[in-house]
Amino acid sequence: MTRTKTLSAKHNEFINNLFLLKFNGTKAYAETYPDCSGKTAEVNSCKLLSNTKIKAEIERRTAELAQEAGWNVKIALKHLKKIIDLYLHRPSAAVSAIVAANRMFGMDKDAGPGAAGLTINVTTDRKVIESKEIENE
């Protein structure tokens, strides 16, 4: 991953730590600034995560990683259907697996108004009975 020139070395280090520490901002800040208190890490990590340049860099790196891994919505949907079949008897496990996979590649954010969404209805006999794109209201 290339370093963004508009960010300081410490900001880039914070972003690196954020990826390494499973997107825990407080832990990433504490790792970047080891002499700070827990409260300082909590408050300042929120400030950094709301910084538009840092947000843009996180999104850029996430997209880069998703592209390198070959993960996209089509592949996520394919895995979603498999997970539904495998874990229908344990819905919470299915949801957790889907959320985790999509979170890794930044696909867990709200699409926003006017964006396409997906509805999948399943029956208890482990068959997908309907899958269609819908407009978010």
CA distances from 41 to 46, 83, 106, 116 (A): 8, 37, 24, 37
Let me know if residue 63 belongs to a domain: yes
Let me know if residue 3 belongs to a domain: no
What pLDDT, on a 0 to 100 scale, did the predictor assign at position 34? 95
What pLDDT, on a 0 to 100 scale, did the predictor assign at position 134? 44
Same domain, 63 and 98: no
Whichever domain contains 44, its CATH number is: 1.10.10.1400
Whether the CB-CB separation of 81 and 128 falls below 8 Å is answered with yes
Give 120's contacts (C-beta < 8 A, 6+ positions apart).
80, 81, 84, 128, 130, 131
Let me know if residue 1 belongs to a domain: no
Same domain, 78 and 64: no
Same domain, 92 and 128: yes
Whether the CB-CB separation of 58 and 15 falls below 8 Å is answered with yes
Same domain, 77 and 130: yes
Digits of tens for pLDDT over the chain (137 positions)? 455 468 999 999 999 999 888 889 999 999 999 999 999 999 999 999 999 999 999 989 988 887 777 777 777 777 777 777 776 677 777 777 777 777 766 666 654 444 444 444 544 555 444 445 444 43
Range of the domain at 62: 9-69
What pLDDT, on a 0 to 100 scale, did the predictor assign at position 23? 87
Neighbours of 92 (CB within 10 A): 8
Same domain, 82 and 52: no
Let me know if residue 20 belongs to a domain: yes
Let me know if residue 13 belongs to a domain: yes
What pLDDT, on a 0 to 100 scale, did the predictor assign at position 6? 84
Same domain, 91 and 62: no
Let me know if residue 86 belongs to a domain: yes
Does the predicted TM-score (pTM) go above 0.85? no
- The tally of domains found in the chain comes to 2
